[in-house]
Structure formats: C-alpha cells, structure tokens
Chain A
Amino acid sequence: MPHDHHDHDHDHGQEPPSDIALRVKALESLLVEKGLVDPAALDAIVDYYETKVGPRNGARVVAKAWSDPEYRARLLADATAAIAELGYSGGQGEHMVAVENTPATHNMVVCTLCSCYPWPVLGLPPVWYKSAPYRSRAVIDPRGVLAEFGTKLPADVAVRVWDSTAELRYLVIPERPPGTEALDEAALAALVTRDGMIGTARL
C-alpha cells in the first residue's frame, strides 16, 4: 500500500499547513457540520483508492490473457465482462476496451481533454498522466514520448494512440516477454508494469 511521508505532516508542527490544506480542511468541516458528508465515509473512499484498486488488478488481467487463450479472446471481444470475471468493476471502468500490442503495432493511451483512466484495473492515474506535457504530446509525438520513458520504438512498428474522449476506458495488453513460457499467472503478473498497460513502456 502506498503510504507517503506527507501523511501526518499537519501533526508534526514543523511546517505550517499550506493555504490549500487549510481551505480543504475548512470545507470538510463545513460539509460535516451541515450533515452532508460523513468523515468515516471519506476515510473509506481514501482507503479504497489506496488499497483496493491499482495496477496489480490490471496485471492479473494481462497475465490471464497471456496464459489462457479463451480468456484472451473474451477480453478482446468484451473487456468489461472479462475484467468483471476477475472481480474488477466500478467507476471509470464502465466500458472497457482491451487493445493488444503485437510485433507490428504498439498501443498508447491518453486523455487529452482531462484525465480519463481505467480506475478499476489501474487505480488512480500518476501525476504525469494528468499533466499538460503528456496530454499535449502523446497524440502528436508518441515516439518522442516513448523515448522520454526510455523506449526507442523501431520505425517499422506502427503506433496506435487512443484518446479517451468518451466513457470508454482503454487497457493495453503488452506483448508477453520472451522466455516466460514456464511462468504461472502469478509470476507473469509480477512482470506487468503500470506503464506497460498505459503503453508508455514495452515489457
């Protein structure tokens, strides 16, 4: 579970809380006082996104698709249903589409207009995914973006960029790395990275 050192920075008395931190605290107090939100529900929401969803979910989906040809076929035909088979569903994953990398094609996902991202399988997006540099450049210079992530894509591999402009959410199925024939699903899932499932990296 990700847990950063800022967690209790308001308790240490070292630095004064920032203006935004104070304003957020004031709004929460106001909404609680008015009976509009329950602070325990807010805690449960935070816990859900820090511990229940994340890229490990998507990695299980990919590993199963690599291991089970029938599951792969179901995933490519109806990703929402195939992903739900593994117990993953919810907001920002209502209409899932799986796109598969091949030796000839590399897929990359972006949301140029906001920050659409498949929460049930990848969790909440990293900062760079939501930021202007990635949103602006992924569609016009995907090969330059890949290079910035340390991947030089051969010229004969076509890039397919998917701009998530509606409520469809895309999951990239990376190519299965060579030499992994003997691995079971759990071992395969450990090889699958978040960036591989966004398409900013190859495995």
Chain B
Amino acid sequence: MNGVHDMGGMHGLGPIEPGPDQPVFHQDWERRVHALVIASPTRGNIDAGRHRRELIPCPDYLRMTYYERWFAALCEMLLKGGVVSPEELASGRADPATAKATPRLAPEMVAPALSRSGSYLRDAASPTAFATGDRVRARNLSREGHTRLARYVRGRTGVVEHCHGAHVFPDTHAHGGGEDPRPLYTVRFTARELWGPDAAERDSVSLDLWEPYLERV
C-alpha cells in the first residue's frame, strides 16, 4: 500500500536529533507494550503485524510515537483475532463467561525463545529467474495490500548483487495466504538512478527485493 510508512526519499520530516546511547525504554508503559507484543497470542506472523501498523491512518501514524503505534496495532490484532471483545478492551475486565486460557509463553521459556533463531528461508519451488550481475527493473506496482517494494525504487533499474534463496513472501503472508516463498535478491541502485543527476556519482542504495517485484531489463 502507498502509505506514509513508506517514507524513503521524503523531505520535510524534520531534523534527526541524534543522541548518546539512550535508555532502551523511556517510559515504563513502553516496556510493557514491547513485552505484550512478544508474549501476545497474536504473535507469529511478522508480516501481518507490520501491515497492521501500516493501516494506522496516515495523520495518526505521523503523530504517534513508535510504541503508541505498537500498542494501537496490538489492540487491533487482538480484536480482529477474536482474542478479546470490544467490551473487554473498553472495560479492561474479562467476560466471566469465557474460559481462562494458559499463557503461551512461560517465564522460564522467555530467554530460550528470544535467543532462538528461526529462519525465513524455504526450499525453492523453481529455479531463480535472475543471477548475480543481472540488470533488473523494480516493477511499478501500486497494490493496496502489504508490500516491501518501497515506492522510491519502483520503475528504477539496478543490478542483482546476491540471491538469498526463497524467503517467505510478505505480500502473501501478511494477508493469511500462507508463506508463498519466492526468491529474494539484494539489488543495488545507483544514487543517480534513484534521485537524479545531483546525487553523488559513486553512492548507491541496496534493497532486498523478492522476485515478483522485479523484471528483466
């Protein structure tokens, strides 16, 4: 979707204001939001979670802090997943008619679970279409659903630097359509191809793009 979350190359969003190494969390409620998102029964589909945050209306998205977005998206996912009812969310009290569940994540399982590396690599169903060194164009697609094809590369030509095998495809996975693994490539674009002749001649930007985002030049 062409949302405001897709902000690469925009001007006018203000100074960066870098600081020293900051505390990990700035407010106690941010600690709890981070932990609730990880422990939530809705956890498991990272693409659906990202898409839920992208669906926050643009003006709200820009106004909210990072953990406000996480909290808003968590509430939506709990509601949409039928985990809590609107009445429960409004009152903060459980409906006495519902059975009590068992937590998905026990305290002693937290450290092992967080240090375990899953993988998004899957067995490839077909040979890859592109090889290292191929020139490819990012396709000009404007679909309403979730995608990781950033707007600023659409229609631009780059060079395949690496093929990473088939990875879970977010455009399908975010919408409950299964993992639909597709070959993933690192594609390098020159800064001048992306931003025009004023950009520094030797600078470049590389993105990780799935095969359906690309076409042969």
**Interface residue ranges, A against B (CB under 8 Å):** 2-4, 6-10, 18, 20-21, 23-31, 33-38, 40-46, 48-50, 52, 54-55, 80, 84, 89-91, 93-95, 110, 112-115, 120, 123-124, 126-128, 130-140, 142-143, 145, 148-149, 155, 158-168, 194-195, 200
| Cβ contact within 8 Å between A44 and B28 | no
- Chain A min CB distance to B59 (Å): 13
| Cβ contact within 8 Å between A163 and B207 | yes
Q: How large is the interface on B (under 10, 10 to 19, 20 to 34, 35 or more residues)?
A: 35 or more
Taking CB atoms, residues of chain A closer than 8 Å to B149 are 165
B202 interfacial contact with A, CB 8 Å: yes
Q: In chain B, what residue has the closest Cβ to A21?
A: B29
Given A134-B16, A136-B8, A34-B27 contact (CB < 8 Å): no
| Cβ contact within 8 Å between B98 and A38 | no
| Cβ contact within 8 Å between A163 and B150 | yes
**Interface residue ranges, B against A (CB under 8 Å):** 5-11, 13-19, 21-29, 31-36, 38-41, 46, 50, 53, 62, 66, 68, 71, 74-75, 78, 83-84, 88-89, 92-94, 98, 100-107, 109-111, 114-121, 148-150, 152, 164, 167-168, 170, 184, 186, 191, 194-195, 200, 202-210
| Cβ contact within 8 Å between B39 and A139 | no
| Cβ contact within 8 Å between B28 and A149 | no
Given A114-B50, A139-B8, A163-B206, A6-B16 contact (CB < 8 Å): no
Q: In chain A, what residue has the closest Cβ to B107?
A: A40
| Cβ contact within 8 Å between A143 and B200 | yes
| Cβ contact within 8 Å between B195 and A140 | yes
| Cβ contact within 8 Å between B35 and A140 | no
| Cβ contact within 8 Å between A194 and B21 | yes
Taking CB atoms, residues of chain A closer than 8 Å to B78 are 27
Q: In chain A, what residue has the closest Cβ to B49?
A: A114
Q: In chain A, what residue has the closest Cβ to B195?
A: A140
In the complex, 23 of the A-B residue pairs with CB atoms within 8 angstroms, ordered by the A residue number, are A2-B25, A7-B28, A18-B29, A24-B33, A27-B36, A30-B84, A31-B84, A37-B103, A38-B105, A46-B25, A90-B117, A126-B19, A127-B26, A127-B66, A132-B14, A136-B8, A136-B11, A145-B16, A159-B191, A163-B206, A163-B207, A166-B167, A166-B208
